Amino acid sequence: MPIIKVENLSKIFGKNPSQAQKLLDQGQKKEEILKQTGNTVGVNRASFEVEQGEIFVIMGLSGSGKSTLVRLINRLIEPTEGSVYINEENLAAMDSKNLRRVRREKMSMVFQRFALFPYRTVLQNTEFGLEVQGIDKSDRSRKAKESLELVGLGSFINQFPGQLSGGMQQRVGLARALANDPEVLLMDEAFSALDPLIRKEMQDELLDLQERMQKTILFITHDLDEALRIGDRIALMKDGSIVQIGTPEDILVNPANDYVEKFVEDVDRSKILTAQHIMKRPETVNIEKHGPRVALERMREEGLSSIYVTDRSRNLKGYVTADNASQAIEENVKDLTNVIETNVPTCDLDTPMNDIFDMIHNSPVPIAVVEDGKLRGIIVRGAVIGALAGSEVSINE
Amino acid sequence: MSNTLLPMIPVKTWVDNSVEWITDTFEFVFDPIKNNLDSFIEFLSETLQMINPWIFIAVIAIIAFFVTGKRIGLAAFSIVGLWFILNQEMWEQLMDTFSLVITASLISVIIGVPFGIWMAKSNIVQAILTPILDFMQTMPAFVYLIPAVAFFGIGMVPGVFASVIFAVPPTVRFTNLGIRQVSTELIEAADAFGTTGIQKLFKVQLPMAKKTIMAGINQTVMLALSMVVIASMIGAEGLGKEVITALQRNDVGLGFVAGVSIVILAIVIDRFTQSLNTQKGE
């Protein structure tokens, strides 16, 4: 049974939501509704379910309605239509007293800019949710300390938030949310304000914590990498609507429409490693001055079974294998022109690693990385495997 | 200038009548206020005067030293300034003025902060109160003396009344501003943890607005002090009365001494309230 169940949840900002709602039901687009009624569609009939222990990521670009959607779920923003069930209780139809109870006991929120109280110490910040519930002092201090211990801030309890780094502040934010022991954790771009290294660290830590605690987490992000890393399932949003829901694999392999495909493509091209990250400096011989003897000698020196051949300005001509070179020496051929193989496996500087992986699998020689016909580097099998395994990638110019 | 199209609207008569009506009808309210307030101010002033001036100066200097973060400036100024007032035999008047300012400021804060909170919580209240506050601050302060006398007779209490009307707007405005300035994310955080309105006010909004509210209170104290001379025209005791006397007798020397004493008091109070504010905020 799902812990969170969202049905047809909509939010329309503006003066005349009912009119806009009608147009929305007729299937009108966001821009048309804005033009006709002056109302902005924040979230358009979103429906999804989240299971216990799942990390459900809602992702989309800024303006896609993801932050509005998460605020509809704990009703920081009042929904125009639809329902939000948390354990079978419909939040959207609750009176304020019950809503407060659910907010206190069932769900906590972590904010993009941390939203810590600057005049409270780390401990007092962490205690906030418990204090609001009226839990007595010794109890709440014990729970808050446990929670701080969990995020690794046990020794910072008397500092003020202003004295901590961004990453540590967000740990306090996380500890404050966990101190209530909620079933549902809402994380609104929780790591987006952190620099990339710290962000990765926090993602790993969240996954570690999740393994131990098995909370139900609703995580909002605009970063597909982050979504792929931590999400059990991902919902992609565009213009207030959910375009696709699926596992990271689904989204990458079977993009639901052009929008998702573009999104995924974009990420592949820009974020995932490309040829230039894993190539190394090539050993070459110069076709204009070197013959088979030099080629063979150089191969012997470097312990290679083949070597790339270029001209003076490094235009790629082909490669020569050790066998071919020694045969040419026997036949007393001085020039490499007729000895070289010209059927060379090549790729561009920004060919994604996934493609290189397929290529290198079938290739007897390293892959040549070529820019405007010039040889810029070579990729050997070991480098690809190393990069896939996540080890340090050496970048050679 | 006479207007042929419209007869003169009898605003004066209306106001006269309504003030008279208020005075008569609410006598049972004004009288106890006057008596209680009178005895409070008297008690305060007499208590302060019972303290040996040298001890008083020493205590002020010590507090000043610590309040300003162990710096010598304000403490030294307090010693020299207060000694000068004592030397000029204005000590009794100083204590009277001080009592008046404290009383007026206290009442202003007690009235002003809740109104500021109310204003921050409701846009309608803000829309209504803003022009009223403008009116209260722009109206020449002398005008308040007239109903003050009508309600409370002459003496300290009408002085306090007029001072409060003149001095309360900054506290209201700054409280409103301070609360409205609290970032939406902090308000969202408070809401997301299920705070009630009161919890949100006392645990988040007021602590966050404290600095701004204190700045408003500082303004209020200064405005109350600026009313002491005017309040003396209706019989309030203190340094202001010396200024009025000097004016009536064309006594430049007395006017200067009393004036400088007021300035010294103003500087000490202002720096005190300001340092209290910066210190707490860290």
CA distance B277 to A140: 30
A interface test, pick of B187, B188, B191, B193 with most A CB neighbours within 10 Å: B193
CA distance B177 to B212: 8
CA distance B77 to B66: 14
Does B24 contact chain A (CB < 8 Å)? Answer: no
Q: Provide the pLDDT for residue B280.
A: 47
How many angstroms separate the CA of residue A120 from the nearest CA in chain B? 10
| Interface contact A76-B207, CB threshold 8 A | no
| Interface contact A129-B186, CB threshold 8 A | no
CA distance A160 to A122: 6
Residue A197 confidence class, pLDDT cut points 50, 70, 90: confident
Q: How many domains does chain A have?
A: 2
Q: Provide the pLDDT for residue A296.
A: 87
How many angstroms separate the CA of residue A141 from the nearest CA in chain B? 17
How many angstroms separate the CA of residue B187 from the nearest CA in chain A? 9
User: Both A252 and A281 in a single domain?
Assistant: no
Q: Does any domain span residue A334?
A: yes
Q: State how beta strands A241-246 and A284-286 pair.
A: unpaired
Does A98 contact chain B (CB < 8 Å)? Answer: no
Does B197 contact chain A (CB < 8 Å)? Answer: no
Phi, psi of B99 (to 5 degrees): -60, -45
How large is the average pLDDT for residues A357-386? 81
Identity of the residue in A100, A111, A186 whose CB atom sits nearest the CB atom of B194: A100
Residue of A nearest to B210 (CA): A119
Does A108 contact chain B (CB < 8 Å)? Answer: yes
Does A215 contact chain B (CB < 8 Å)? Answer: no
Helices B145-152, B27-50: axis angle to 10 degrees equals: 100
Residue of B nearest to A182 (CA): B193
Residues β-bridged to residue B18: none
The two tokens of residue A54 are 């799942």
Q: Provide the pLDDT for residue B101.
A: 93
Q: Which residue has 């959207």 as its token pair? A: A92
Does A175 contact chain B (CB < 8 Å)? Answer: no
Phi, psi of A28 (to 5 degrees): -70, 155
3-state secondary structure at position B183: coil
CB-based contacts of A357-364 (< 8 A; 24+ apart in sequence): A357/A384, A357/A388, A360/A384, A364/A306
| Interface contact B194-A133, CB threshold 8 A | yes
Task: Check if the beta carbon of residue B203 is closer than 8 Å to that of residue B150.
Answer: no
Q: State how beta strands A367-371 and A346-347 pair.
A: parallel
Q: Does any domain span residue A176?
A: no
Exposed/middle/buried for A254, CB within 10 Å: 0-12, 13-18, 19+? exposed
Largest CA distance in chain A: 96
Q: What DSSP state is assigned to residue A274?
A: B
User: Both A210 and A287 in a single domain?
Assistant: no
**In the CATH scheme, what is the code of domain B12-50+88-281?**
1.10.3720.10
Residues β-bridged to residue A236: A59, A244
Does B47 contact chain A (CB < 8 Å)? Answer: no
Q: Provide the pLDDT for residue A348.
A: 85
Is the predicted pLDDT of residue A267 greater than 80, yes or no? no
Q: What share of residues in chain A are helix, strand, coil (percent, to 5)? A: 40, 25, 35
Q: Does any domain span residue A102?
A: yes
Q: Provide the pLDDT for residue A397.
A: 32
Please give the residue range of the domain that contains residue A249: 4-106+182-271
Exposed/middle/buried for B89, CB within 10 Å: 0-12, 13-18, 19+? exposed
Residue of B nearest to A70 (CA): B192
Q: Provide the pLDDT for residue B61.
A: 92
Q: Which residues in chain B are contacts of A132 at CB distance < 8 A?
A: 193-195, 199, 203
Would you list the domain boundaries of chain B?
12-50+88-281
The pTM for the full model equals: 0.74
User: Both A64 and A192 in a single domain?
Assistant: yes
| Interface contact A103-B194, CB threshold 8 A | yes
Exposed/middle/buried for A89, CB within 10 Å: 0-12, 13-18, 19+? middle
Task: Check if the beta carbon of residue A396 is closer than 8 Å to that of residue A281.
Answer: yes
How many angstroms separate the CA of residue A47 from the nearest CA in chain B? 22
User: Both A42 and A102 in a single domain?
Assistant: yes
User: Both A311 and A249 in a single domain?
Assistant: no
Q: Does any domain span residue A74?
A: yes
Q: Does any domain span residue A156?
A: no
The two tokens of residue A39 are 């109302």
How many angstroms separate the CA of residue B177 from the nearest CA in chain A? 19
3-state secondary structure at position B88: coil
| Residue A106: CA count within 13 A, CB half-sphere | 18
Identity of the residue in B185, B193, B208 whose CB atom sits nearest the CB atom of A129: B193
Q: Does any domain span residue A122?
A: no
User: Both A222 and A312 in a single domain?
Assistant: no
CA distances to B59, B104, B152, B157, B215 from B26, in Å: 43, 21, 11, 16, 35
Identity of the residue in B183, B188, B193 whose CB atom sits nearest the CB atom of A128: B193
Residue of B nearest to A115 (CA): B186
Task: Check if the beta carbon of residue B166 is closer than 8 Å to that of residue B223.
Answer: yes
How many angstroms separate the CA of residue A86 from the nearest CA in chain B? 15
User: Which residue, of A271, A298, A327, is where some domain finishes?
Assistant: A271
Give CA A322 to chain center in angstroms.
45
| Interface contact B188-A101, CB threshold 8 A | no
Q: Provide the pLDDT for residue A387.
A: 62
CA distance B125 to B49: 43
| One-character DSSP codes across A351-383 | -BHHHHHHHHHT-SSPEEEEETTEEEEEE-HHH
Radius of gyration of chain A (CA): 29
Q: Provide the pLDDT for residue B3.
A: 57
User: Both A100 and A191 in a single domain?
Assistant: yes
Identity of the residue in B191, B199, B207 whose CB atom sits nearest the CB atom of A76: B191
User: Which residue, of A208, A238, A271, is where some domain finishes?
Assistant: A271
User: Both A267 and A355 in a single domain?
Assistant: no
Residue of A nearest to B280 (CA): A119
Residue of A nearest to B196 (CA): A100
The Cβ of residue B139 has, within 10 Å, a number of other Cβ atoms equal to: 12
Q: Provide the pLDDT for residue A396.
A: 37
Complete edge-to-edge strand list for the sheet that includes strand A316-321: A284-286, A306-310, A316-321
How large is the average pLDDT for residues A295-316? 86
Q: Does any domain span residue A164?
A: no
Phi, psi of A84 (to 5 degrees): -125, 115
How many angstroms separate the CA of residue B125 from the nearest CA in chain A? 22
Nearest to B103 by CA among B54, B33, B153, B150: B33
Radius of gyration of chain B (CA): 22
| Interface contact A109-B204, CB threshold 8 A | no
CA distance B138 to B121: 25
Identity of the residue in B185, B192, B208 whose CB atom sits nearest the CB atom of A103: B192
Q: Provide the pLDDT for residue B2.
A: 55
The set of residues, in sequence order, having a beta carbon less than 8 Å from that of B135 and lying 6+ positions away, is: none
User: Both A231 and A338 in a single domain?
Assistant: no
User: Which residue, of A271, A295, A318, is where some domain finishes?
Assistant: A271
Q: Provide the pLDDT for residue B278.
A: 74
Task: Check if the beta carbon of residue A43 is closer than 8 Å to that of residue A65.
Answer: yes
Residue of A nearest to B188 (CA): A76
Residue of A nearest to B211 (CA): A119
Q: Provide the pLDDT for residue A266.
A: 57
Does B204 contact chain A (CB < 8 Å)? Answer: yes
Is the predicted pLDDT of residue A311 greater than 60, yes or no? yes
User: Both A12 and A90 in a single domain?
Assistant: yes
Beta-carbon contacts below 8 Å between A and B? 59
Is the predicted pLDDT of residue A192 greater than 70, yes or no? yes
User: Both A76 and A189 in a single domain?
Assistant: yes
Q: Which residues in chain A are contacts of B196 at CB distance < 8 A?
A: 100
User: Both A354 and A207 in a single domain?
Assistant: no
Question: For position A352, which CATH number holds?
Answer: 3.10.580.10
| Interface contact A132-B195, CB threshold 8 A | yes
Residue of B nearest to A99 (CA): B194
How many angstroms separate the CA of residue B67 from the nearest CA in chain A? 19
Tell me which residues of chain B have a pLDDT lower than 50.
Answer: 280-282
How many angstroms separate the CA of residue A103 from the nearest CA in chain B? 5
Residues β-bridged to residue A9: A46
Q: Which residue has 């540590």 as its token pair? A: A168
Does B211 contact chain A (CB < 8 Å)? Answer: no
3-state secondary structure at position A181: coil
Does A103 contact chain B (CB < 8 Å)? Answer: yes
CA distance A384 to B38: 90
Residue A75's H or E segment, with its range, is none
Q: Does any domain span residue A282?
A: yes
How large is the average pLDDT for residues A242-248? 89
Does B192 contact chain A (CB < 8 Å)? Answer: yes
Does A158 contact chain B (CB < 8 Å)? Answer: no
Phi, psi of A342 (to 5 degrees): -105, -5
Q: Which residues in chain A are contacts of B282 at CB distance < 8 A?
A: 160
- Average pLDDT, whole number, for chain A? 86
